[in-house]
Structures are given as structure tokens and as C-alpha cells.
Amino acid sequence: MTATYMIVAALVLLALALVAWPGIAERLRRPVTDRVRGRAPGDFADLEDGATHYKWHGSRSDRVIVLVHGLSTPMWVFDGLIRGLLGLRYRVLTYDLYGRGHSDPAKGAQTLDFHARQLGGLLDALGINLPVTLLGYSMGGAIAARFAATESDRVERLILLAPAGMGYVAAKPLALARRGGPFGAWLWGLTGPRLLRRGAREDAKGASVITDLPDRISAELKRRGYLAAVLSSERHALQESVAEDHREIAAMYIPTLAIWGEADTVIPLAGVGQLALWNRHAHQEVIPGGPHSLPYTRPTQVLEALREFLHDVPE
């Protein structure tokens, strides 16, 4: 009986440890402190929902393009595009969404309006009054569309790169966590790090211009608030419809380019047809064999499509 009790006790302790581990692991992660921010490249803006990390690339110019990243990769996801955009005579602004990179892990549901408020607040804080070109990648495409639809006077052109909002296939652990309430949050804390690291390793096997992608994602996973931010955006922003946003963009005749990856397993290529129904004025390009990771695995093809679009749609 003693041996049986010991086995049962060990199993109970193991179960308790399993239940407690995600919360313990989160408390062990490093918060984004002033000391950490002091070592970060770029600058910070104190906005309504928290400090936002941003970086300017290039000299002063009235031609500004703002890059909006997606669910899990901060602003460095655009490193492969910066030089080419500067060559197009743009001044480039990149920034971290809340809970990613060096921006604050803001509280509250991360809806599209939440993310659009951060973007608008940043433009206000930087005194950007002239209309900008917006480029949104993945979830950033949905954020950019929401901002363009609600703040059309501030957007000159809209570029969507593998954009969310027209079909989306989440990895199974994330899809389960999305629907699971408190259990889902616990499950994501347990399985999320492994899922994100595996995805980074798979992307790094290809022709990526970000050769240290696994290390960068590992660094994100060491920051407090990152996993919660990803899950909140998955539960809110990525479940919202952008149909009315794109209809409004079409009605306002905002020049729009959408670039898709033919082999994208996250954002299905069926989005091409869906966007055409909502905005028949939108230009659309498909990169042959392109995966979801277009900014860092197909930057040359992306920039070629951008050059053609910007040439065909002058200021």
C-alpha cells in the first residue's frame, strides 16, 4: 500500500507541476524594463496603451511608408525589405505591436481596433500629418486595412502582404488555445513555445535573409507578456471580419496592392478571389511557390511587385 500511495502522490505532484508550470514560466520571463529598452535600437513613444518601440530608416522625406508586422514576429521581420524600400526613395517606419519586441505588454483584448489605435497614436506622436503608404504583413494586413478604412485621409496607398482577414489556418495548438478560455491560455503557455520554435526552425531551413530566426524567436519567448499578446490577437483580431473595411477602401479609391504566396499554408490563396469581390480596384500579385514568410524568404520578388505598383500608381 505504501508503494501505491507513493505512486499516487508522485502522480498528483506531477499533475500539479504541469498545471502550475505555464504560470511559473511566465513569471520567470524578463519584463521589458527601462534598462532593456536602453539597449534596443530605435526610440520609444508613450501612447495611450503603453510604450511603443519604433525605428526610422533613411533620411527625412515626405514619402513615408509604415510597415505593420503580424502575429508573432516583431518589426525585424521586415529587415529584408528595408534597403529596397529606401531605394524607392521612401523613409521607412517600423514598430513593434504591443507585447512583441520591446513594446509594452498592454492589457486588454487585442482587437483590430486596439492595434489600429496604436498605429494612429504612433503617427500622432511622431507628428506625421501627411498621408502615408501602409504595408501590412499577415495580421498586419488586417490592421492596415482597418486603419485605412477608418482613417482614409491618412493613407495614400495600401500594400497587403499575405494578408489576414480573407481566410486563415492556425496551427492546431493555437486553434485549440483560441477556443479554450482559461484552459486554452494554460494550454498555450504549455505548447506555444515549442510550436513557435519549431516554426522558426522550419522557416530557417529555407532561403531566409534572417539567418538567426530561431534565436530571435527564442529571445521573444524569454520576454514576459509575449505569449499572452499572441493568444489575445489570435482570439480577437484574427477572428474579425475585414469585409466592410475593404469595401470602404474600395469606395474611397485608396490604391491597393495585395501580394500572395502561391504555397502559403497559413493564408490560403483563395483570398485572391475574396479580395476581388470586396475591392475590384485592388491590384493583386501571386509569387510562384511563395510561402507565408514572404518578407524574409522572397524579399526580391516582393520588392519587384512593389516597384511595379508604385510606378503604375504615381502620387
Q: 280-289 pLDDT, tens per residue?
A: 999 999 999 9
172 compared with 115, residue with greater pLDDT: 115
| Residue at 193 is within a domain | yes
Report the pLDDT value the prediction gives residue 27, as an integer from 0 to 100. 63
Residue 29 lies in a domain: no
Q: Dihedral of CA 236/238/244/249: which sign?
A: positive
| 207 found inside a domain | yes
252: domain CATH number is 3.40.50.1820
DSSP summary character for residue 234: H
Tens-digit pLDDT profile for residues 79-98? 999 999 999 999 999 999 99
**Does 17 map to a domain?**
no
Q: What is the span of the domain harbouring residue 219?
A: 34-312
Indicate whether 218 belongs to any domain: yes
- Judge whether residue 246 has pLDDT over 90: yes
Asked whether residue 2 carries a pLDDT value surpassing 80, the answer given is: no
Establish if 56 belongs to a structural domain. Answer: yes
Cβ neighbours around 74 below 10 Å, total:
24
Q: How many domains does the chain have?
A: 1
21 inside domain? no
- Alpha-carbon distance of 243 to 145, in angstroms, equals 10
Q: How many distinct helices (H) and strands (E) make up the chain?
A: 13, 8
Please report the DSSP string for 26-47 in residue order.
HHHSBP--HHHHHTSSSEEEEE
- Determine the average pLDDT of the residues in 173-180: 90
Residue 106 lies in a domain: yes
CB 54 within 8 A of CB 45: yes
